[in-house]
Structure 1
């Protein structure tokens, strides 16, 4: 096992977790169940052994999506966080990591359900006029209720009088 520490959590900060060691089998799952659970075209997942995983704030709600699989999510903000296939590991949604750049997917699964035009996404035009300006980003940052991408002692922060 390596000394890597991965932290992450939901958008509102009610559920936080820590995984120690390498996140294995980082992949994009295109199955219809993952598409529905993510509300997206695919779900990025990677696994860590239960013994190397801990909740550090709150606990997820669970939805039993099939006989053998339950999916963990934040009950407060709805962020999909986990896939538990009743084995010795838990799969983490890679986008919920504080630093998702650190875990690059290495393969894809369930390609029969992959949307037919998925490979064309990189070729979509970019409308730079729709990008936030630095002033807009600062204004959003001042009023955001999104948990920062690092562990905090408490969340949400206390309101200032």
Structure 2
């Protein structure tokens, strides 16, 4: 089902709207993505460039001779990946205002996959809104995160 979805960076400087056709997303584990994001993998969804608009053009980083990445220079949010000569690009799943629609359907860059980080079932879990030191920090800043 086609749906217009909005998203953007952490500080709100960069915003976008995308017409999303599918729920399919994937995890990229390639070394380029690991280094660009500082993470063991990144969740992407693929979209036609014609199906998205930037409210404010992001900053672009030439991450290799064949690819570039949109990001926000103010907060550092990684927003995607693009081959400039292709009609599609990837947007980071987490940059959508509501990423819950998307479902992982595949892995890419499996040669650099860190499998221990994929299935963390059974590890202890803690909610941020129940961690007292964090609640107190936010309270000092005038924000109640327990609501």
The normalised TM-score by structure 2 is 0.82
How much has 1:32 moved relative to structure 2? 0.7
- For residues 5 and 89 of structure 1, the distance between their equivalents in structure 2, rounded to whole angstroms, comes to 17
- For residues 22 and 141 of structure 2, the distance between their equivalents in structure 1, rounded to whole angstroms, comes to 30
In structure 1, the partner of 2:139 is 139
Give the stretch that moved more between structures: 16-25 or 3-12.
Answer: 16-25
For 1:39-50, list aligned pairs within 5 A. Answer: 39-50=38-49
Length, aligned pairs only: 141
In structure 1, the partner of 2:27 is 28
Q: State the secondary structure of the residue aligned to 1:125.
A: coil
**Superposition RMSD on alpha carbons, in Å?**
2.8
Greater strand share, structure number: 2
How much has 1:103 moved relative to structure 2? 1.1
Match of 1:64 among 62, 65, 69: 62
The normalised TM-score by structure 1 is 0.76
The structure-2 alpha-carbon separation of the partners of 1:25 and 1:68, relative to structure 1 and needing over 3 Å to count, comes to farther
Gaps of 5+ in 2: none
- For residues 113 and 107 of structure 1, the distance between their equivalents in structure 2, rounded to whole angstroms, comes to 14
How much has 1:130 moved relative to structure 2? 8.8
Gaps of 5+ in 1: 145-161
In structure 2, the partner of 1:97 is 96
